[in-house]
Amino acid sequence: MRRALPGRTDHVVVVGAGLAGLSAALHLLGAGRRVTVVERGALPGGRAGRLDLGGYRADTGPTVLTMPEFAEEAFAAVGDSLRRRVELIPLHPAYRACFADGSSLDVHTDADAMAAEVERFAGPGEAAGYLRLRDWLTKLHQAQMRRFIDANFDSPLNLLNTDLARLAALGGFGRLDARIGRFLGDERLRRIFSFQALYAGVPPARALAAYAVIAYMDTVAGVFFPRGGMHALPRAMADAAAEAGAELRYGQEVTGLERAGERVTAVVTSRDRVPCDAVVLTPDLPVVYRLLGRRPRRPLRLRHSPSAVVLHAGTDRTWPQLAHHTLSFGAAWHTTFAELTRTGRLMSDPSLLITRPTATDPSLAPPGRHLHYILAPCPNTDIGPDATAWSELGPGYRESLLRELERRGLDGIGAAVEEECLVTPAGWQAEGHAAGTPFSAAHTFAQTGPFRPRNLVRGTENAVLAGCGTTPGVGVPTVLLSGKLAAARITGLPGSASARRTPARRKGTTV
Q: What are 319-368's pLDDT values in tens digits?
A: 999 999 999 999 998 899 899 999 999 999 999 999 999 999 999 999 99
Give every CB contact of residue 39 below 8 A, 6+ residues apart in sequence. Answer: 16, 17, 21, 46, 248, 249, 250, 251, 252
Say yes or no to pLDDT of 318 above 50: yes
For strand 417-423 and strand 307-315, is the pairing parallel, antiparallel, or unpaired?
antiparallel
Q: What is the pLDDT of residue 495?
A: 43
Instruction: For residue 463, give the amino acid letter.
Output: A
Inter-residue contact 230 to 48 (CB < 8 Å): yes
Bridge pairing between strands 460-465 and 456-457: antiparallel
Q: State the DSSP code for 149.
A: I
> What letter does residue 43 receive in the DSSP assignment?
S
Contact of 208 with 175, CB cutoff 8 Å? yes
**297, pLDDT greater than 90:** no
Sign of CA dihedral 24, 25, 29, 30: negative
Under DSSP, the state recorded for 446 is G
Q: Which of 166-170, 201-205, 218-222, 486-490 has the lowest mean pLDDT?
A: 201-205
80's CB contacts (< 8 A; 6+ apart) are 26, 240, 243, 244, 506
What is the structure's pLDDT at 162? 81
pLDDT at residue 316 tops 50: yes
Report the sign of the C-alpha dihedral through residues 205, 210, 211, 216, in that order. positive
The Cα–Cα gap between 318 and 356 comes to 9
- Which of 502, 500, 480, 481 has its CA nearest to residue 490? 500
Per the model's pLDDT, the better-predicted residue between 167 and 495 turns out to be: 167
Mean residue pLDDT across the chain: 92
Residue 220 pLDDT exceeds 70: yes
Neighbour-count burial of 399, counting CB atoms closer than 10 A to its CB (0-12 exposed, 13-18 middle, 19+ buried): exposed
Residues 226 and 490 sit within 8 Å (Cβ to Cβ): no
The residue among 475, 190, 182, 210 whose CA lies nearest residue 333 is 190
Phi/psi of residue 211, each to 5°? -70, -5
The mean pLDDT value for 43-67 works out to 95
- Mean pLDDT value across residues 287-294: 92
Lowest mean pLDDT of 96-110, 152-166, 215-229, name the range.
152-166
Top pLDDT among 273 and 159 is at: 273
| Half-sphere exposure for 100 (CA within 13 Å, toward CB) | 13
In one-letter notation, the amino acid at residue 60 is T
Pairing of strands 417-423, 263-269: unpaired
Task: Say if residues 202 and 341 touch (Cβ distance below 8 Å).
Answer: yes
Closest CA to 33 of 248, 277, 281, 268: 277
User: Contact at 8 Å (CB) between 78 and 502?
Assistant: no
Lowest mean pLDDT among 196-200, 317-321, 487-491: 196-200
Q: Cis check for the bond before 362: say yes or no (omega within 30 of 0).
A: no
CB 18 within 8 A of CB 66: no
Give the single-character DSSP code of 287: H
CA distance 330 to 352: 8
For helices 232-243 and 69-76, the axis angle rounded to 10 degrees is 20
- Cβ-in-10-Å burial (0-12, 13-18, 19+) of 233 comes to buried
Distance CA 261, CA 401 (A): 53
Q: Where are the alpha helices (DSSP H) in 88-152?
A: 111-122, 124-144
Q: What is the pLDDT of residue 493?
A: 58
Average pLDDT on 82-96 reads 97
Amino acid at 135: D
Asked whether the predicted pLDDT for residue 416 surpasses 90, the reply is yes
| Spatial CA neighbour of 278 closest among 294, 291, 262 | 262
Residue 498 has pLDDT above 50, yes or no: no
**What is the tens place of the pLDDT at every residue in 126-182?**
999 999 999 999 999 999 988 788 888 877 777 767 878 898 999 999 999 999 999
Confidence of residue 494 (pLDDT cuts 50, 70, 90): low
Task: Determine the pLDDT at residue 298.
Answer: 78
* Res. 1: pLDDT tops 90: no
Q: Residue 396: its pLDDT value, please?
A: 97
Whole-model pTM: value is 0.93
